[in-house]
């Protein structure tokens, strides 16, 4: 069989942002007439790769080939002219304007000779041509998210592309809407075009795609054009097999023989929505006891984030209840956005915890001493109580947050991806610290994307998937299967 010329090919693409390496030698090969799925965890480089293909970023190295011919996009407009259309994750729509106006705004000559009637006619033409219905005169702000996405697709198709790129289109859609989108994409690629879709969901990728590419840490780790791979293969490619190897497992089994204590955290039929009001967890029930570590597995958007935040008292369930102690240590995934003020001193950052409940005066000298003790206990290096938090390295910032959140022996500690961005040593130290909290009598909940890490640190593991929470056996294959929903 002769392989046709790929519609779009990206070869050994490099991209750095400052000192951060986003892509190193990443590649992607999309055949004409196919729906190509791009998978990878947060920060794997998926969006960056597709932004390069769409002319939104320029690569530091590597080549872009369109139908076998090398291209260098200087702008998104050039890519669109060359036949590459994009639907970004965050919509670029003006909420107070109509569909027709938004489409006209994106088109050529937007600033010269706008006629509302002509714009509406254009939208109707496109929407009949591609078979996506939308009211040209509707105001964007009144449309549901799926409707807004349709408008983005229509915008991308105003100048008919041969390759359509969609960044996590189903993240904002209900299951039925996702189904409709994939049906439409199927007719789109059957017409000889190609589409690239970013998703986090292995199941979704396998069910709808013709080919799969997986990125991990800026590299292409799996290219599977013929569906020869299993779900396990894909999942392993996404998550990687490297484990911090903290050696906790051996020591733990001895202590876990002793039965655990009273219930500290309890969720009863809790339905939890995220900050935007989208329900992420449905009727979850669980208990966490004194002295145990509960591991939580889940791929992005599975609801584990909302579950942990509800347990930590940072989100209130819509229905059902979540009960927990007053003193809860919470270690968020994004340290600098949610845990630390970079230009506050370590002492100031230390007393920040639960400062909403503090009254009266602050005795700085005492607090500085307390901070110094926490710094020593958790081996935070690179500064003392007066050092600015922003001056510490990432690993030491994480140690510092652990020190703060474990201070005063809270009854529960909840950690979101506590090893994210840490090297092997710092990861092991973080997990050991959490284990030590449990040994000291706290209920500990840890989310991690790394299955081996969960097996290392946890006594039991639950898996979040599509808003459902389920306890699974402590085996890598069982967790992996539950993550993708096969078991």
Residues contributing to the site for another protein (CB under 8 A):
313-314, 330, 332, 337-345, 347-348, 351-362, 364-365, 368, 386, 388, 390
Q: How far is the CB of 428 from another protein (least distance, A)?
A: 24
Nearer to another protein among residue 122 and residue 398 (C-beta): 398
Q: Are 182 and 36 in contact, with CB atoms under 8 Å apart?
A: no
Nearer to another protein among residue 341 and residue 424 (C-beta): 341
Burial of 351 (0-12, 13-18, 19+ CB in 10 A): buried
Q: How many CB atoms lie within 10 A of CB 183?
A: 12
Cβ contacts of residue 82 below 8 Å, gap of 6+?
66, 71, 73
Q: How far is the CB of 360 from another protein (least distance, A)?
A: 6
Burial of 399 (0-12, 13-18, 19+ CB in 10 A): buried
Q: Cα separation of 156 and 385, whole Å?
A: 53
Q: How far is the CB of 339 from another protein (least distance, A)?
A: 5
Sheet arrangement for strand 319-323: 279-289, 263-273, 319-323
Question: In the Cβ-directed half-sphere of 407, how many Cα atoms lie within 13 Å?
Answer: 22
Q: How far is the CB of 328 from another protein (least distance, A)?
A: 10
Q: How far is the CB of 174 from another protein (least distance, A)?
A: 27
Q: How far is the CB of 198 from another protein (least distance, A)?
A: 26
Q: Which residue has the tokens 């997990």?
A: 431
Sequence-ordered alpha helix ranges (H) in 210-261: 231-239, 248-257
Q: How far is the CB of 342 from another protein (least distance, A)?
A: 8
Nearest to 209 by CA among 225, 221, 193: 225
Length of the chain counted residue by residue? 487
Q: How far is the CB of 371 from another protein (least distance, A)?
A: 12
* Residue 28 β-bridge partners: 10
Q: Cα separation of 481 and 366, whole Å?
A: 51
Nearer to another protein among residue 255 and residue 338 (C-beta): 338
Query: In the numeric block, which tokens belong to residue 290?
Result: 């004194």
Nearer to another protein among residue 228 and residue 360 (C-beta): 360
Nearer to another protein among residue 280 and residue 309 (C-beta): 309
Nearer to another protein among residue 74 and residue 276 (C-beta): 276
Q: How far is the CB of 249 from another protein (least distance, A)?
A: 31
SS3 124: helix
* Long-range contacts of residues 230-237, Cβ cutoff 8 Å, at least 24 apart: 231/202, 231/203, 231/206, 231/481, 231/484, 231/486, 232/477, 232/480, 232/481, 234/39, 234/202, 234/205, 234/206, 235/202, 235/480, 235/483, 235/484, 236/480, 237/39
Nearer to another protein among residue 266 and residue 314 (C-beta): 314
Q: How far is the CB of 315 from another protein (least distance, A)?
A: 11
Nearer to another protein among residue 56 and residue 352 (C-beta): 352
SS3 73: coil
Cα radius of gyration rounded to whole Å, the chain: 25
Nearer to another protein among residue 118 and residue 365 (C-beta): 365
Q: Cα separation of 156 and 158, whole Å?
A: 6
Nearer to another protein among residue 354 and residue 474 (C-beta): 354
Q: How far is the CB of 230 from another protein (least distance, A)?
A: 39
Nearer to another protein among residue 180 and residue 391 (C-beta): 391
Give Dmax (Cα) for the chain.
79
Element at 102 (helix H, strand E): helix 99-106
Q: How far is the CB of 218 from another protein (least distance, A)?
A: 23
Q: How far is the CB of 135 from another protein (least distance, A)?
A: 28
Element at 320 (helix H, strand E): strand 319-323
Nearer to another protein among residue 211 and residue 340 (C-beta): 340
Q: Are 298 and 465 in contact, with CB atoms under 8 Å apart?
A: yes
Nearer to another protein among residue 224 and residue 351 (C-beta): 351
């Amino acid at each position: 069989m002769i392989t046709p010329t790929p519609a779009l090919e990206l070869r050994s693409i490099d991209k750095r942002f400052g000192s951060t390496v986003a892509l190193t030698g990443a590649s992607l090969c999309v055949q004409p007439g196919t729906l190509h799925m791009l998978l990878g965890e947060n920060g794997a480089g998926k969006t960056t790769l597709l932004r390069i293909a769409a002319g939104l970023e320029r690569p530091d190295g590597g080549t872009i080939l369109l139908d076998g011919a090398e291209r260098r996009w200087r702008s998104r407009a050039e890519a669109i002219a060359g036949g590459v259309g994009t639907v970004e994750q965050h919509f670029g729509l003006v909420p107070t304007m109509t569909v027709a106006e938004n489409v006209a705004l994106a088109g050529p000559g937007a600033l010269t000779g706008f006629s509302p009637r002509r714009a509406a006619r254009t939208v109707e033409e496109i929407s009949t041509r591609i078979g996506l219905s939308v009211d040209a005169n509707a105001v964007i702000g009144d449309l549901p998210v799926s409707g807004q996405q349709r408008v983005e697709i229509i915008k991308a198709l105003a100048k008919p592309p041969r390759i359509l790129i969609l960044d996590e289109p189903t993240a904002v859609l209900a299951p039925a809407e996702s189904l409709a989108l994939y049906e439409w994409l199927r007719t789109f690629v059957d017409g000889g075009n190609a589409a690239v879709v970013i998703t986090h969901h292995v199941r979704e990728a396998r069910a709808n795609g013709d080919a799969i590419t997986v990125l991990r840490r800026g590299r292409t780790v799996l290219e599977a054009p013929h569906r020869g791979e299993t779900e396990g293969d894909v999942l392993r490619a996404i998550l990687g097999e490297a484990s911090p190897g903290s050696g906790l497992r051996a020591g733990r089994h001895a202590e876990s023989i002793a039965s655990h204590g009273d219930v500290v955290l309890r969720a009863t039929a809790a339905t939890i929505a995220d900050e935007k009001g989208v329900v992420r967890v449905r009727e979850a029930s669980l208990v966490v006891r004194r002295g145990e570590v509960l591991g939580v597995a889940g791929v992005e958007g599975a609801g584990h984030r909302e579950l942990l935040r509800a347990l930590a008292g940072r989100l209130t369930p819509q229905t059902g209840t979540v009960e927990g102690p007053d003193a809860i240590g919470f270690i968020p995934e994004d340290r600098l956005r949610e845990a630390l003020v970079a230009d506050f001193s370590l002492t100031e950052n230390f007393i920040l915890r639960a400062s909403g409940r503090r009254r009266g005066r602050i005795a700085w000298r005492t607090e500085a001493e307390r901070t110094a003790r926490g710094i020593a206990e958790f081996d935070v290096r690179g500064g003392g109580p007066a050092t600015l938090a922003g001056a510490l390295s990432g690993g030491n910032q994480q140690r510092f947050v652990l020190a703060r959140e474990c201070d005063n022996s809270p009854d529960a500690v909840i950690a979101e991806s506590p090893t994210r961005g840490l090297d092997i040593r710092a990861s092991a130290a973080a997990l050991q610290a959490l284990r030590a909290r449990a040994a000291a009598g706290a209920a500990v909940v840890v989310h991690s994307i790394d299955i081996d890490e969960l097996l290392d640190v946890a006594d039991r593991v639950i898996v979040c998937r599509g808003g459902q929470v389920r306890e699974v056996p402590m085996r890598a294959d069982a967790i992996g299967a539950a993550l993708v929903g096969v078991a």
